[in-house]
Amino acid sequence: MKIFSLIIAVAVGCVLLYATGDFPSWGDPASPASTHVSPHYLEKALEETSVPNIVTAVLADYRGYDTMFETTVIFAAGAACVILLRLFGIRPKERYYRHLLTGVTIHVIGDRKIPEDSGTFERIDNLWVPHDMIIRSICRFLIPFLQLFALYVIAHGHHSPGGGFQGGVILGASVILMAISMNLRTSLERIREKTVALLAALGILIYSGTGALCILLGGNYLDYSALARILLVSPVEARSLGILAVEIGVGVAVMATMIAIYQNLASSGRLDEGL
């Protein structure tokens, strides 16, 4: 089986290598990829949209449809993960509790009740991962700065590399860091599951809502220059502000999806204990 698949891989590789003989040489400015539409984007982006980062301008303005459906795909992947894994109302077969004053660990089997918010007992994970004080203190200090940096990346996507996706992923990663360094239940207290789901849908609503708003104001779908009527700026500025609104929508949707996928993967659906 392995020899057979090695032969297949080498054969496909040889066919592709033969095809590279026709490629334009590497770094050629006159290659077909660089000649039809992209000189127009490069030359006209600043005066039509007043956004110096051309990749953001093309992503959110000239190719806005692609980005909208991509956000929908991200939301669908998050929803698929939740549907596959999530189990409601499953009581864990055994739980461990630790008495805070003496350090004694209690192993509770079955469904006996221990009050969850009791001040003297705290619940620890089944597969016990030691929680180090150094990691916990440093991450508690670091998470607000991560979120501030993520908001900077979203807002500054017009002038520097960045934009909605990168900022959204960093926002999601900050909540994942909280779940890893402290406890999955702590991160669930900060952002509940229902809030995460609503945020994912809200992100897509912001994106398509901006497009629908442009139709209501008389332009085409996702034609941000129609927003100049309510924002009272010139159409070029309105395109820049439309790009910003759309990037915020993308960032919110991506953040919620990353949090939802991680919470379901790490606890395999039960959302009570995990990494």
Query: Which residues between 94 and 123 bind other proteins (CB under 8 A)?
Result: none
Q: Applying CB under 8 A, which part among 105-113, 156-164, 191-199, 204-212 lies near other proteins?
A: 156-164
What is the SS3 assignment for 121?
strand
Cβ contact 84:265 at 8 Å? no
Q: Report in angstroms how near the CB of residue 40 gets to other proteins at its nearest.
A: 8
Size of residue set near other proteins by CB under 8 A: 77
CA distances from 253 to 9, 56, 246, 260, 273 (A): 38, 17, 11, 11, 25
Interior angle at CA 87, CA 83 and CA 90, nearest 5:
175
Query: Which residue, 48 or 217, has its beta carbon nearer to other proteins?
Result: 48
Query: Which residues between 165 and 204 bind other proteins (CB under 8 A)?
Result: 165-166, 169-170, 172-173, 176, 180
Tokens of 223: 């034609």
Assess 138 for contact with other proteins (CB under 8 A): no
Query: Which residue, 166 or 205, has its beta carbon nearer to other proteins?
Result: 166
Query: Which residue, 165 or 207, has its beta carbon nearer to other proteins?
Result: 165
C-alpha 191/C-alpha 208 separation (Å) is 25
Query: Which residues between 8 and 67 bind other proteins (CB under 8 A)?
Result: 8-10, 12-13, 16-17, 20-21, 23, 25-29, 31, 33-34, 37-39, 41-43, 45-47, 52-56, 58-59, 63, 66-67
Burial 144-168 (b: 16+ CB within 10 A, else e): eebbeebeebbbebbeeebbbbbbb
Q: Report in angstroms how near the CB of residue 30 gets to other proteins at its nearest.
A: 9
Assess 131 for contact with other proteins (CB under 8 A): no
C-alpha 253/C-alpha 72 separation (Å) is 9
What is the SS3 assignment for 106?
strand
Pick the binder of other proteins from 49, 95, 143, 163 (CB under 8 A): 163
Query: Which residues between 201 and 260 bind other proteins (CB under 8 A)?
Result: 254, 257-258
Assess 89 for contact with other proteins (CB under 8 A): no
Tokens of 35: 């000649």
